[in-house]
Structure 1
Amino acid sequence: MSQEHSKDENLLFTTVESLLNAAKERNLYNEDELNIEGLITLFPDIDIAYTQLDPSISGTLSRRGDKWIISVNKLHHKNRQRFTLGHELAHYVLHKSDSEEFIDTVFFRGLSNNNIERTANDFASRLLMPEDKVMGLIVNRNIRNVGELANLLGVSAAAMQYRVKQLGFKTKE
């Protein structure tokens, strides 16, 4: 499939599954790790900016005319930046009709009580740590170390810990 795409095709990118299928079709994986930046480039109206933000802010999604800008805190760890990209993409896909700006603080990571933030975290988690990939690593490759799983998928150990529990595995605390 060509890298070219129409605006109509973007209407299909409304679920994690549709985005994961697009990533597979376009070979947007480096082994098991999703090229989240490459996936975001499928949306012609989104630009990514790595910028210095207050340490308490992971990223933002803001509308500027016809474009949406995902700003990522360049001072944060690469794996946090990747999760932030997934989280902001979730806001774009799920919530862009609700607001023209989303500011995501470190406070909202983890167990947020805010439903929009929780939904965006879940979306990013399923996008960066899809069930089939995580299960394949655990079952087929017999990887039992949360840190090793996290490294293979390019996420933090805390995010991976949350995801494997969500998938029904017991972990050491």
Structure 2
Amino acid sequence: MKADTERARSAAQAIIRDFAVKSPPVPIERIIKSKNIVLQYAPLEEELSGMAYIKDGVGIIGVNALHHPNRQRFSAAHELAHHELHAKEIRKTVHVDREFRVLLRDDVSSQGVNPLEIEANAFASELLMPRELLMTALGDGGLDLDDEAGIDALARKFRVSPAAMRYRLTNRL
């Protein structure tokens, strides 16, 4: 299976349109809750950012409460992608701890080679840093990618990490 990042980005753009998001930061918690997905924050192992699972027919997103709030937002958006794009897969994945069905962020997913993880990252990136809002925030002058202060300011505005913002600006705008 090859990752379909365009489908993932289109799905995120549809959510931005549906929620009429006109300025950053994107209200990720409100979006998740409006989709009747339970959003839970709990201390998890350091290497686990979040999980998406379905229990008794209810969609649930778990986010590592020990991570930075910006990381939590990205994790929540990433896990929402699994619910939006990969519902079939998260219904049949391996059972872990109290029979939760999860997609774990593991060595394979962190390498960026798993198609489901690639799609979820593309979705989360587009959802939290929508192209149109970024273009507006950048204005006519754009942004020099060596301008650390500028990237930090833009990241704060969108409530994402500077690393996520740099990646977004470098790889897909």
Length-normalised TM-score, structure 1? 0.78
Report the Cα distance in structure 1 between the residues aligned to 2:73 and 2:19, rounded to whole angstroms. Answer: 15
Contact 2:13 2:130 in 1 (8 A): no
RMSD (CA atoms): 2.0
Task: Name stretches of at least 5 consecutive residues in structure 1 with no aligned partner.
Answer: 1-13, 169-173
**Partner residue of 1:20?**
16
**Greater displacement, 14-23 / 127-136:** 14-23
How far the C-alpha of 1:99 sits from its partner, in A, is: 2.6
> Mapping of 1:83-162 within 5 angstroms?
83-100=74-91, 101-105=101-105, 107=107, 108-109=109-110, 112-140=112-140, 145-162=150-167
How far the C-alpha of 1:143 sits from its partner, in A, is: 5.7
- Percent identity between matched residues is 32
Selected match of 1:49 from 34, 40, 60:
40
Task: Name stretches of at least 5 consecutive residues in structure 2 with no aligned partner.
Answer: 1-9, 92-100, 145-149
Q: By percentage of residues, which structure has more helix?
A: 2
- Residue 170 of structure 2 corresponds to residue 165 of structure 1: yes
Q: Alpha-carbon deviations, 1:114-160, whole Å to 9, x = none?
A: 11101100000000000011111112586651111111001011110
**Partner residue of 1:36?**
28
Selected match of 1:79 from 53, 70, 81:
70
Contact 2:128 2:158 in 1 (8 A): yes
AA aligned to 1:19 is I
Q: By percentage of residues, which structure has more strand?
A: 1
How far the C-alpha of 1:69 sits from its partner, in A, is: 1.1
Report the Cα distance in structure 2 between the residues aligned to 1:133 and 1:140, rounded to whole angstroms. Answer: 13
**Partner residue of 1:10?**
none
Paired residue secondary structure (1:71): strand
How far the C-alpha of 1:21 sits from its partner, in A, is: 1.0
Report the Cα distance in structure 2 between the residues aligned to 1:141 and 1:82, rounded to whole angstroms. Answer: 28
Greater relative contact order (Cα < 8 A, sep 6+): 2
**Greater displacement, 31-40 / 50-59:** 31-40
Q: Alpha-carbon deviations, 1:2-57, whole Å to 9, x = none?
A: xxxxxxxxxxxx81122001221xxx67x51011000111212x101100110100
Report the Cα distance in structure 1 between the residues aligned to 2:34 and 2:127, rounded to whole angstroms. Answer: 15
